[in-house]
Amino acid sequence: MRNKIVIGVMALIFVFGGTSRAENVQLDLFNLGMPANFDDNSPSWQANFDLGVTFTQISHVYIDWSGGITGGLSTYMGSGVSAPFDEGVNAILWASPNWRRAKVYGGHATYPDPEPFNQLSEFVSGSMPWSELFDGQGTIEIGRIAIMTIPEISILQRGSVTLNSATLVVDGTLIPEPASILLLAIGVLGIGRKRRNTNIVQ
């Protein structure tokens, strides 16, 4: 009987040890020290992160963020006419030298008031393979960006971005923790011992 229990435990460890589970892993970027405001006086923010898990596969990576974007003000050279333009906030995942980017724009429609946003932005542009994040570690950078690229346009005033929330979200398949497998084995052994004791009593 004991040999059967041992064999059963070993089989479970083999099966569950090689079985992965789908998971949605989240990291609040404010916990890494990310500032809430990005303007002319604040450079891009960058930090290393460790999700504390190991992936066998990653399907999607997002940044779930909300806040308000105040547009900038521009003028066409020589016209004397000013007009607002969109500002944006940019999130970059680094696994040097590769990267992926997600972004959101706004502010033009509500200028001079901030335009609120609440968006789940996927990291799609860029060429970093998700295998670079299988160990759960990487670098993230957040910064303000503008879409003004026409030489004839002169920027009179840059806008700003205020973040109320910002969470890195990774959809992937995790390797089970060794502790979970050990607890499973202990549980099976306990059930087997209980059944054996019951048979003895009978």
The DSSP code for 39 is S
Kindly report whether the global pTM for this prediction surpasses the value 0.85. no
What is the tens place of the pLDDT at every residue in 179-197?
Answer: 444 444 455 445 555 555 5
Which pLDDT value is given to residue 1? 55
- 125 — phi, psi (to 5°)? -75, 150
Q: How is the chain split into domains, by residue range?
A: 1-19+176-202, 21-175
CA distance 106 to 85: 8
Q: Quickly count: other Cβ atoms within 10 Å of residue 2's Cβ.
A: 10
Which pLDDT value is given to residue 19? 56
pLDDT-based confidence at residue 63 (cuts at 50, 70, 90): very high
What is the tens place of the pLDDT at every residue in 7-49?
Answer: 444 444 444 445 567 889 999 999 999 999 999 888 899 999 9
Q: What would the two tokens of residue 100 be? A: 């992926």
Which pLDDT value is given to residue 21? 77
- Judge whether 71 and 107 are in contact, CB under 8 Å: yes
Q: What is the mean pLDDT of the chain?
A: 83
Q: Indicate if the pLDDT at residue 87 is higher than 70.
A: yes
- Judge whether 138 and 63 are in contact, CB under 8 Å: no
Select the CATH number that applies to the domain covering 21-175 from these four: 1.10.3470, 2.120.10, 2.60.120, 1.10.150. Answer: 2.60.120
- Judge whether 116 and 68 are in contact, CB under 8 Å: yes
